[in-house]
Amino acid sequence: MNEPHPRRKLDEVIHSPVRLSVMAVLATTSEADFRYVKDIVEVSDSLLSKHVAVLNTAGYVRIVKGVAENRPVTWLSLTETGAEAYREYVRTLNRIIGGKEAPGDAR
């Protein structure tokens, strides 16, 4: 019997475009300020909060609240579980596309 299509292994928690974008930003750094992530992902505070809460509930993102320069700061970072889930998500996407570029991109 054939192996199921790789799309069946895509993590539904990460699959949302906003959550995937957040994970991608956090995968490049040890931690990031909430406002920085909001600016990079180009979403409102409330939308980012909603998606970060989903990622936090799944155990993928750590939220640490503190103070920096006399203002409240919320720091976001990937957990080990989140980092591995993101890597697996990217590997699965690569299996789906077969490592190929989009039509018209290869020259």
Residues in the chain predicted with pLDDT less than 70, given as ranges, are: 1, 99-107
Place of tokens 């789906």: 96
DSSP 9-71: GS-HHHHSHHHHHHHHHHTTSS-EEHHHHHHHHT--HHHHHHHHHHHHHTTSEEEEEEEETTE
Phi-psi domain of 101 (left: phi exceeds 0; alpha: psi -120 through 50; beta: other): beta
Is CATH 1.10.10.10 the classification given to domain 11-97?
Answer: yes
* Closest of 19, 2, 25, 1 to residue 10, by C-alpha: 19
Report the C-alpha gap between 74 and 61 in whole angstroms: 12
According to DSSP, residue 105 is labeled: T
Report the C-alpha gap between 23 and 19 in whole angstroms: 6
CA-based radius of gyration for the chain: 16
Confidence at residue 105, expressed as pLDDT on a 0 to 100 scale: 58
Confidence at residue 4, expressed as pLDDT on a 0 to 100 scale: 85
Confidence at residue 3, expressed as pLDDT on a 0 to 100 scale: 83
